[in-house]
Chains A and B, each alone.
Chain A
Amino acid sequence: MNGIRVSNLTKRYDDTLAVDDITFTVPVGAIVGLLGGNGAGKTTTIGMLLGLLIPTAGAIEVLGHDMARDRFPALARMNFSSPYVSLPQRLSVAENLRVYGHLYNVPNLEQRIAELAAELELRDLLHRPAGKLSAGQKTRVALAKALINRPELLLLDEPTASLDPDTGDWVRSWLERYREDTGCTILLASHNMAEVERLCSDVLMLKRGRIVDRGTPQGLLDRYGRKDMEEVFLDIARDRRHAVPA
């Protein structure tokens, strides 16, 4: 069973082809990485999966719902986090979580907020304005917002961007544990190759809007004859070396 099914998805802005006829599936419970350089089409793809963008062509099915005709039931069962989209800075952490708890119709909301505060070490921050938090604290709050509705599908756009290595590692460990505990499906867009290698069971390599390669991290390393995903990424980005046929 698939959490996400994308068929022949295309997005064109005037003369620019941002996403070019991509097809992929994300099985339920998997963590799949969307990897590519700037302008590769990762954010556009995520935007279409979230219903923020209307595709030029193709079909998207999320948790069994056709996003073109029936996106709201799917949106209620998924969530999203990105360092490039903020929460209201002047509201406290608790107020922000309350707002999104209402938007996602979360039952026993105060109890859910208390649970998330305990899990994500936010208890001392609940009454602080969101704008007064450090980057690491903001990331934890953004994760709490993304988990408020116990999503079955989580879309994460560069979840550890601008975090120090210690906080980044904490977030990655937390995501691994969360996926194991809940069976949540995660699609992760990232520039961080170590993160993708560690978290993802499958990787989609995007370049100029097309999926140019895909596979497990180990499979890609073997095919390109490299030691880490960063080298694989550079091979693909710079057309340096092509995969060795198995």
Chain B
Amino acid sequence: MNSGSSARTAARRIWGLLYRHLALYRRSWPRLLELAYWPVLQMCIWGFTASFLAARIGNAAAVAGATLLGGVLLWEVALRSQMGVAISFMEEMWSRNLGHLFVSPIRPWELITALLLVSVVRMLGGVLPALLVAWILYAYNLFSLGPVVVLFFMNLMMFGWAVALGVVSLILRHGAGAEALAWSVLFGLTPFSAVFYPVAVLPHVLQPIAEALPSAHVFEGMRGVVLQGIVRWDHLIAAFALNVIWIAGATLLFARQFRQARLRGALLSIGE
């Protein structure tokens, strides 16, 4: 098989898995609603809070409100990307379909690529309605930050994927017992990601943890644009570099746990 033909075959396998998840959403409006529910709810709560403070305190609060809303929206990008991968993998586990998938010719990297694409769809399904609510209710347009927003999005998606690969690896290792991590693990990193405040606010002992997270650099960058009107390229480069390290580490962990699962015979019994 030549390289063009094998690339087409790989793309078709990836599409097959993507189609499986899209078909699931096509026939279930509660699933579609669930995608947007939490991001829109978050946006409403923090949007009204910011509006209230702006009315009471004035311009300073309005700037703080813009930082807050930007933080809420961008953090949802990371959260939805992470959950998109982890929950899509768990869908296969819950439907006891992993055995069929892993005996098909789909390669592990194709499976992961398909899950990443599903997560992009899920992320957009959650974040776009929240963006719309922010624009309609609070006249807040995240894209007014400029094209750099795209780089913020990319970095946060990559970070979400790295964490998700770690979660999937733990599910391969510990089975259904690790499921709760799919919902909770990124929330645990929120304080260190400096979503709503600068890293400098953290105690000195915790600051190195924040510095090691790509997300903290993204939010420092976002505050640079909102508060000073400048693009902090140093933070963006740091975020990309850290993401490369995080994704490489998570990929190695996944490859190791996948092999361990094949040694232990866990691929058929996982989730039981």
Residues of A within 8 A of B (CB): 13, 43-44, 47, 50-54, 72-73, 75-76, 79-80, 82, 84-92, 95, 98-105, 129, 145
On whether A85 and B28 interact (CB within 8 A), knowing A99-B19, A105-B9, the answer reads: no
**Bound CA span A105–B104, Å:** 10
Q: Is B201 an interface residue when CB atoms closer than 8 A count as contact?
A: no
CB proximity of B181 to chain A, nearest CB, Å: 23
Q: State whether B12 touches A99 (Cβ < 8 A).
A: no
On whether A72 and B105 interact (CB within 8 A), knowing A52-B268, A86-B97, the answer reads: yes
Q: State whether A52 touches B104 (Cβ < 8 A).
A: no
**Bound CA span A88–B95, Å:** 5
Q: List 13 additional contacts besides A50-B103, A102-B16; criterion CB under 8 Å.
A: A52-B103, A80-B99, A80-B100, A89-B95, A91-B24, A91-B27, A95-B19, A98-B16, A101-B16, A102-B15, A102-B19, A104-B105, A105-B105
**Bound CA span A227–B95, Å:** 42
For chain B, the count of residues having a C-beta within 8 Å of the partner chain is 33
Q: State whether B99 touches A82 (Cβ < 8 A).
A: yes
Measured CB to CB, the nearest residue on chain A to B10 is A105
Chain A CB within 10 A, most for which of B92, B103, B259, B268:
B103
Q: State whether A52 touches B267 (Cβ < 8 A).
A: yes
Q: Which secondary structure dominates chain B's binding surface?
A: helix
Instruction: Name the B residues within 8 Å of A43 (CB-CB).
Output: 268
7 A-B residue pairs with Cβ-Cβ distance under 8 Å, sorted by A, are A51-B103, A54-B262, A91-B27, A100-B100, A100-B104, A102-B12, A102-B15
CB proximity of A187 to chain B, nearest CB, Å: 13
Q: State whether B265 touches A85 (Cβ < 8 A).
A: no
Instruction: Name the B residues within 8 Å of A44 (CB-CB).
Output: 265
Interface members, chain B 81-104 (any A CB < 8 Å): 91-92, 95-97, 99-104
Instruction: Name the B residues within 8 Å of A72 (CB-CB).
Output: 105, 107
Instruction: Name the B residues within 8 Å of A105 (CB-CB).
Output: 9, 12-13, 105
CB proximity of B59 to chain A, nearest CB, Å: 51
Q: Is B200 an interface residue when CB atoms closer than 8 A count as contact?
A: no
Q: Is B244 an interface residue when CB atoms closer than 8 A count as contact?
A: no
CB proximity of B77 to chain A, nearest CB, Å: 27
Q: State whether B99 touches A52 (Cβ < 8 A).
A: yes
Partner among B19, B97, B104 whose Cβ is within 8 Å of the Cβ of A104: B104
Q: Is B136 an interface residue when CB atoms closer than 8 A count as contact?
A: no
**Bound CA span A105–B99, Å:** 18
**Bound CA span A50–B262, Å:** 11
Q: Is B23 an interface residue when CB atoms closer than 8 A count as contact?
A: yes
